[in-house]
A = this chain, B = another copy of it.
């Protein structure tokens, strides 16, 4: 019976990943092996505690299998590997390298439910025969303690295929459609096919590259940034217009109204901290390269002036550097020590 289910490996089971696992298993068309890291012990002992607007309250829930390392076997083959970790492109090892032992060439479909631009590139390079799907998730789901998930607003997922010129487009689309079917089978969520991946990803960047960045640097959430004087006028909107211009430079037409839609996406008084602000608060590394650096590089390569994004990017790189130092990833000379002065 379970042999007919899709065999899915999930990388990263935090706020987004755990609800993905729950959706997939609830639909009864898939079985999930979740690779856990920081929350492995907690979940192995007690399962997940989930408070979900879509699924109700679950205590002790586990996907079919949990593990604390990437499986080094591919029998049975994984049909899908779903990655929901943050994309920290400036910090090795890359997920594309880590999942290598679990990928069956020409078979496993890799699904990146992750933000940012050009995130498919390392997967295209490592797995030239495998389909890579794009997932753009709008979900208010957070792991508030190891294994404890609070999921506050409906899971809204757009699935498409990253166009790989070496593969058959129709087969890519079929893989995306099948995944939408698996994800939607429980009827609990809004998962749709969105084949214009570039549009979906650039549109999400209007939020992520701009509000994420500005909120992370000022400490203001999505409500407060709108209350704080002319911050929207002087920072948020100029940054968003630069993203629109960069998108336009690669043929992605984001209508002007998108900026207002994104600014007003949540009621002011939700005071929702964007994920990058939360990461700064928690001392986590941030997705600075995939959601700010890449669109900046794309825009600039096409001659788009991006003065606001450029400053935001360089400030965020400073924040990232400090986090790396705090996490022991960078060593600096001792206080009072002598260093060559450049």
Binding site for B on A (CB under 8 A): 214, 217-220, 223-231, 234-235, 264, 267-271, 307-308, 310-312, 314-315, 317-319, 321-322, 325, 332-339, 341-342
Contact = CB atoms under 8 A, between A and B. Distances in A.
B307 A311 contact: yes
B269 A333 contact: yes
Copies of this chain assembled into the complex: 2
B219 A314 contact: no
A231 B288 CA distance: 14
Nearest to A311: B311
Nearest to A336: B269
B271 A335 contact: yes
B314 A235 contact: yes
Contacts of A339: 267-269
A319 B218 contact: yes
12 contacts: A217-B315, A218-B318, A218-B321, A219-B319, A230-B317, A231-B314, A231-B317, A235-B314, A269-B336, A270-B335, A307-B308, A315-B315
Nearest to A338: B269
B268 A341 contact: yes
A113 B270 CA distance: 43
Nearest to A307: B307
A92 to B, nearest CB: 16
